[in-house]
Amino acid sequence: METDLMALVGVWCAATLRSATPLIFVTLGESLGQRTGIINLGAEGEMLVGALAGFAVATQTDSASLGLLAGALAGGVLSLVHSALVLAARANQIASGLAVMIIGIGLTSYIGRAFVGKKVSSLDNLLPSGGEALAFFGPFLQQTTLAGPLAIAAAAFISWWINNTRSGLHWRSTGESAEVTLSNGINPIRIRFYAITVGGLLAGLGGAILSVDYTQTWAQEMTKGRGLIAVGLVIVAGWRPALVLPVCLFFGFTEAAVFKLQAMGITFSSHLLSTMPYVTVILVLIFAHLRARKSSQMPNDLKAVFQ
């Protein structure tokens, strides 16, 4: 009985982590950008481009990991548009992000038509078979791929890096005041460029994990606003990469729960159930704002674009 319960917990944890993994990467990337004072609504488009590129490469090469690499690169390349508009042409960040998002949606539905209906094989599970004896870890590892632990490691690393290194300090100070940062001989434009690019790479990677490793299909606009949700979750996490992890896992849990409910044959409108993530993000935003009242952790330079 007890082992059954542990197994069930293992399955739920695996499902939660798998559905949260793409979101963790995107949200980490977005939080890095926002820490340097850049908001990027284009994360949605970068994620889509990453999902398609990853899926395409994975079907052609039969290698999921190559697919993930391609996805990350594609996201990084699209993010150059945001960099060019925001840093070189000093365009409004929100408008620029939406332009990137529209380009991403257009490009992927243009190219993606050829890939609808194809299948890929995901990353290998961490534990191929056997191991049922391990109460919790057996079921958990059987349904987990390398992507999940990688996401956790990425969150841990980024969180350490931004708080304990010279470059991390430079990034934080850029987000607080580009002017003061410049007066200290550090080029904030270069740092913001790095941050947007890393954000694009992570969004692309998240998208690729979504299409290659998680759903294993390609569909038009399959990210369904995850890139936009990520922007909201950064606020909920209070711009701290360490908190991105629990926030995204909570999100993954609600998504996994919706799937499990549907699988259990709940006769409730699937469309209404699908509104869950969006309703959830608004509710957690309300909760976070009620708690903090005024978001004092917000990087100071971000306040100018984004109150």
Partner 1 sequence: MKAWISSVGAPTALTCAAFTLVTAVFFISIGQPAIKTIADMMVFAVGDSYSLSETLVKTIPIMMCALATAIPGRLGLISVGAEGQLHVGAIFGTAVMLVLPESFGLLGLCLVLVAAAIGGTLFGFIPGVLRVRLGINETITTLVMNYIGVLFVSALVYGPWRDPANQGWPATKSFPEDLILPFFFGTRVHAGLVIAIGIAVLLHLQFHRGTWSRQIKVLSGNRKVGETFGLNYAFTALLLMCLGGAVAGLAGIFEASAIQGRLQPGLSAGFGLTGFLVAWLSRHEPLMIVPVSFLVAGLISAGDALQLFAKIPAASSTILQGLLFATALAVPGLIKRYRGRYGN
Partner 2 sequence: MTETPARAAPFASLLGICKSFAATCAVDDVSIDIYEGQVLALLGENGAGKSTLMKLLYGVHEPDRGKIIVDGPGENPISSPLDAMRLGIGMVFQNFALIPALSVRENLLLAWPDTPVVIKKIKPQNDPVLKKLYEIAPQIDPFQKVGSLSVGEQQLVELCKILNLSTRLVILDEPTSVLTPAEAERLHGFVRSLAENGVGVVFITHKFSDVKACADRIAIMRRGQLIEDVEAQSIDHDGLVRAVMGTDATSRADPPGPPKSDQPRLQIRGLSAHSRNEVLEDINLNIASGEIFAIAGVSGNGQSLLAEVVAGVHQLDDGDVLLDGTSIARHASAQIMKPHVAYIPEAPRINGCVEDLDLGLNLALRDLSTVGTKPLANVRAELEKFDVRPPDPAKKAGDLSGGNLQKLVIARELADYGKAVLAVYPTMGLDIEATKAVYARIFSMAAAGAAVLWISEELDDMLESAHTIAVMRSGHIVEQFKNSHHLTRQKIGALMTGAHDA
Can residue 274 be called a binding residue for partner 1 (CB under 8 A)? yes
Among the listed ranges 46-54, 165-173, 227-235, 255-263, the one in contact with partner 1 (CB under 8 A) is 227-235
Among the listed ranges 212-220, 247-255, 261-269, 292-300, the one in contact with partner 2 (CB under 8 A) is 292-300
- What is the DSSP annotation of 242-303? HHHHHHHHHHHHHHHHHHHHHHTT--S-HHHHHTHHHHHHHHHHHHHHHHHSS-TTS-HHHH
Work out how close the CB of 188 gets to partner 2 at its nearest, in angstroms, rounded to a whole number: 12
Can residue 299 be called a binding residue for partner 2 (CB under 8 A)? yes
DSSP letter assigned to residue 213: I
Can residue 306 be called a binding residue for partner 1 (CB under 8 A)? yes
187 binds, among partner 2, partner 1, none (CB under 5 to 8 A by kind): none
Distance CA 159, CA 155 (A): 6
Nearer to partner 2, 271 or 294 (CB): 294
Nearer to partner 2, 40 or 181 (CB): 181
269 binds, among partner 1, partner 2, none (CB under 5 to 8 A by kind): partner 1
| Total site size for partner 1, rule CB under 8 A | 49
Helices 226-236, 43-61: axis angle to 10 degrees equals: 130
Distance CA 209, CA 15 (A): 14
List the structure tokens of 280: 């959830």
Within 13 A of 227's CA, how many CA atoms are on the CB side? 35
1 binds, among partner 2, partner 1, none (CB under 5 to 8 A by kind): none
DSSP letter assigned to residue 118: -
Per the CB < 8 A criterion, the answer to whether 57 and 274 are in contact is: no
Nearer to partner 2, 126 or 180 (CB): 180
- Cβ-proximal residues to 212 (8 Å cutoff; 6+ apart), any chain: 54, 55, 58, 64, 67, 68, 71, 120, 122, 123
**Per-residue binder mask for partner 2 (CB under 8 A), 146-185, x = binder:** ------------------xxxx-xx-xx--xx-xxx-xxx
Can residue 291 be called a binding residue for partner 1 (CB under 8 A)? no
Amino acid letter, residue 110: Y
Residues that bind partner 1 (CB under 8 A): 41, 81, 84-85, 88-92, 94-96, 98-107, 109-110, 113, 224-225, 228-229, 231-232, 235, 269, 271-272, 274-275, 278-279, 281-282, 285-286, 289-290, 294-295, 306-307
